Structure 1
C-alpha cells in the first residue's frame, strides 16, 4: 500500500484520475503543501497587473491603494480558504460537489460560467507571458511567447495534480526570493520619485473598487481551490487546511500587488511590464523570466481545473462515462489551442478587456460562493452523498434544486443596482460616487435567504 501511494504521489507520474472520488488509498499530502501551491502560483505578472489597477484605473495614492488591496485580500481570502477546506472531506472537484447544492442539471449553468472564467484568466495570463518574453528579448515575438507559455502549461496539466504541486513548491522559493530582490532593487538602487507618497490621492469610488478587485482575485479561486486539496487524507485538520490555504494565497497575492502599485505610480505611460524592466535594470531579465514561469504555473492550474470542469459538464449528460487521463490530456490540448487564438487576437486591448472581465466575473461568482458555503457549513455540515453527484438524476439532490437556482439568480439581480463598470453603472453605484459594493450586497442577501428557505429541507447524508 505504501509503495502504491508513493507511486501516485510521484510528480513524474501521470495522474490517472480526473473527476472521480479519490479513494482513501490514494490520499496523500500535508496542509503545508497548500501554502506553497497558493503562494507560489500567485507571484506572477497578472497579480502585479491586478494590483496596479488600484492606481491606473482607480487613481489611488500608494497608501490608500495598499490599504484597499490589503482589505480586499484579507476579506476575499476567507471565502477562498473555506472552499479549500472542503476538498479532503469529499475528495471530488469543487464543481462536481456543486451538484449537491444545485442538482445534476441545475449545476450546469454555474459550471459553464466557471469554464468561461478559466478561459478569461488563461488568455490574460498567456498575453502577459508573451508580452513579458518580448519585453526582455525583442527577437522573441509576443505571439511566440504566448505559444511558449501555453506549452509549459499544457505539459504540467498533462501530468496533473502532483506535478503542479511540485512546480508551485519550487516556484514558491524562486519567485519569493526574486520578488524580495525586486523590491530591494527598486527601492534602494533605482529609487522612488521624491513625490511618490503624494502622487494621486483618495476617492471613495476608487477605494471600494480596488477593494473589490482584490477580493475578487481571492474569490476567483473559490470554484477550484478544493481541487488541490481533494487528494489529502479525509481525517486531516480542516483548520490547518483553511489557514495554510488562507495565508498562502493572501501573502502570495498581496506582495505582488504592492509591486504593481509601486510601479504604476512611477511609470508615465501605464506600461507595467516596461516599467518593471526599466526599474530593475540589470536584474530585469531574471525578474521577468521568473514571473513568466510563475504565469506558466498558474496557467497550468487554470487549465487543469478548466479541463476538470469541462469533463464535469460532459459527465453530467453521459453519467456512465468515467473520464481518465487520456480525456484530460485531449481536452487540455483542445482548450489550449482555443486559448492561444484568444490571446493572440485579444492582446491589443488587454487591460480594458481584463478589467471588464474580472468585474463581470465578480457578479456571477458571489451568489454561488454564498450558496455553497452556507450549504456546506450550516446545512449539510460537510456531509454529502458523493455517489449521488455522479448520477444523471442527481440521486438525493435531484435534477434541479429550485431554491439554489432562485437564490443564485436573486443574488445577481440585487447586485445590478450596485454594479459599476465601463459597460454599465447602476443607480446605487452612481449615488455612492461610482463605488462598487455589489459583492457585499450579494453575499448579505443570498446567504441568509438561502439558509432560511433551505434549512427545513436539509437532510445530512453520509459522504462516501
Structure 2
C-alpha cells in the first residue's frame, strides 16, 4: 500500500482499488480498508453466471438418465438440494467484509493454522483441477460441435481464456461475470422454452425411488455447496459497512436461481430422445432449431469460461491460504497458471468418458464438503458469541493457534462417510451395496455427524 509520510494527513492511495485491467497482487492476506470497494449487488451475477452452463444442465440429465427419476421427482430433488447449498453460500459470504480474507483462510478458526492445510489443499485440487477439468471438457465439446474443430485443440483454446481471466484477478472476474450474465440468461431461457415445448414431462426415468432421489439431491447439493469453500473469495473486497442482508441475499439468490432453473431444463431435455452416439452437448442441442442450437453452444462455451474463471482463481487462492513458508514465493497469478495447466491435463484425460467422470466427481464433492461445512457453520455460530472481530482476526495469522476438535470432527465425518459412498465406478460402500434403496446419504450423515461432534468436542475442550 502507498501510505502518507509520517506526520501528515494525506489520504491513502489504493494500489489496486477498483481498477479492472490490472493484475491483482493480493493473495490470502487481509484486504486493507483503502482497497475495499464494490457493493453486494455484484455477488448476484458473480454467482449466477458461472452456473448458467452445461455442467449445471448435466445435473438434471443424470438425475433422469442415470438415477432413474421422473421429471417431477428430479425437479424436487434439484430444487431442495440447490436451496440448501445456496443458503449457506449467502451466510458464509458475510465473513468477506467482516475479515477481508478468502474462505479457506477463515477456515483457520475451525481447524487451526496447521490443521487448515488439509481442507485448503483439498479445495485447491477440487477447484483448480477438478472443476476446471469438468467445465473445460463441456466447453471443448461445445466448440467441437459448433465448429467441427477436434476436441483437443478446442480444449486448448478454451483453457487459455479461462486462465487469462483468473490470472488478471478479482476485479476482472467480477466484471466478466457481469457482462456474461445477460447473454447467458437470455440464451438459456430461450433454450428452456424450446426444450419444455418438446419434453415429455410425465416421462423420464423409472424405478429411481428414494435411492435415486437421494442421489439426485446429493448431486444438486454438492454442486451448489461446492461453491461454499469460495464464498468470501469474492466478497472480501466489500467495505466493512456493506449491507449484511444484501450480502447474504444476492449470492444466495444468484446461485439458487441459476442452478435450479438450468438443471431443471436439463432434466426436461433428458426426456427427449437423442442419438446414442451423440456427445453430451450435441444431445442437449439436438432438438433445437439450428440458429438456437448454435447460440446455446456459444453460451455453453461462455458459461464454462465464467465458471472456470472462478475455479482457477479460487483454486490458486486456496493454495496461498496454506500459509506455508517456501524457499520461493509463488504469487496468486503464478498459481493460477499452474492450476490451469494441471486442470487442462485432467480435462484431456477425461475427454473420452466425460459423463461418467462428471457423475462420480459431483458426488465426491459432496463427500468432503458436507463434513467441512458442518464444522465451519458450528464454529461460525459459536465464534460470534465468544469473541470480538478484532480478537478473532488476530488469530487468523497466529501460526501457533490450534483447534484439534475441528480437524478431528472433519476427519471422523469423512471416515464414517466411506461406507455410505454410492454410485462410484470403483467403490460402493457397504450400506448402499446391501441396501441400494437408501441411495447416497453420505452428505447428510457427514454434515450432521461432523457438526454435532465438533459442537461436543469444542465444548469439552474449552
How large is the RMSD of aligned CA atoms in angstroms?
A: 2.2
Structure 2's unaligned 5+ residue stretches are 1-9
Give the conservation status (yes or no) of the 8 Å contact 1:105–1:316.
Answer: no
Residues 312 and 321 of structure 1: is their aligned pair in 2 closer, same or farther, counting only changes over 3 Å?
farther
5 Å-filtered alignment, 1:47-126, equals 47-118=56-127, 119-126=129-136
Tell me whether 1:426 sits opposite 2:429 in the alignment: yes
Structure 1 residue 370, shift from structure 2 partner: 0.9
Runs of 4+ in 1 over 4 A off after TM superposition: 1-7, 320-323
Q: 2:264 aligns with which of 258, 261, 274?
A: 258
Residues 215 and 74 of structure 1: is their aligned pair in 2 closer, same or farther, counting only changes over 3 Å?
same
In the other structure, the counterpart of 2:392 is 385
Give the conservation status (yes or no) of the 8 Å contact 2:173–2:309.
Answer: yes
5 Å-filtered alignment, 1:43-442, equals 43-118=52-127, 119-138=129-148, 140-188=149-197, 191-192=198-199, 195-201=200-206, 202-268=208-274, 269=276, 271-281=279-289, 282-313=291-322, 315-318=323-326, 327-381=331-385, 383=389, 385-391=392-398, 393-394=399-400, 397-398=401-402, 401-422=403-424, 423-429=426-432, 430-431=434-435, 433-442=437-446
Residues 128 and 226 of structure 1: is their aligned pair in 2 closer, same or farther, counting only changes over 3 Å?
same
**TM-score, length of structure 1 as denominator length:** 0.90
Give the conservation status (yes or no) of the 8 Å contact 1:27–1:233.
Answer: yes
Q: How many Å separate the matches in 2 of 1:321 and 1:79?
A: 36
Count residues with an aligned counterpart.
Answer: 443
Q: How many Å separate the matches in 1 of 2:176 and 2:106?
A: 26
Give the conservation status (yes or no) of the 8 Å contact 1:420–1:434.
Answer: no
Q: How many Å separate the matches in 1 of 2:428 and 2:53?
A: 31
Structure 1's unaligned 5+ residue stretches are 459-464
Q: Describe the superposition over 1:296-335 as per-residue Cα deviations: whole angstroms up to 9, x where unpaired.
A: 111011000111112223x3234x9876xxx222222222
Give the conservation status (yes or no) of the 8 Å contact 2:163–2:337.
Answer: yes
**TM-score, length of structure 2 as denominator length:** 0.90
11-20 or 222-231: bigger deviation: 11-20
Q: How many Å separate the matches in 2 of 1:178 and 1:75?
A: 27
Q: How many Å separate the matches in 2 of 1:359 and 1:47?
A: 14
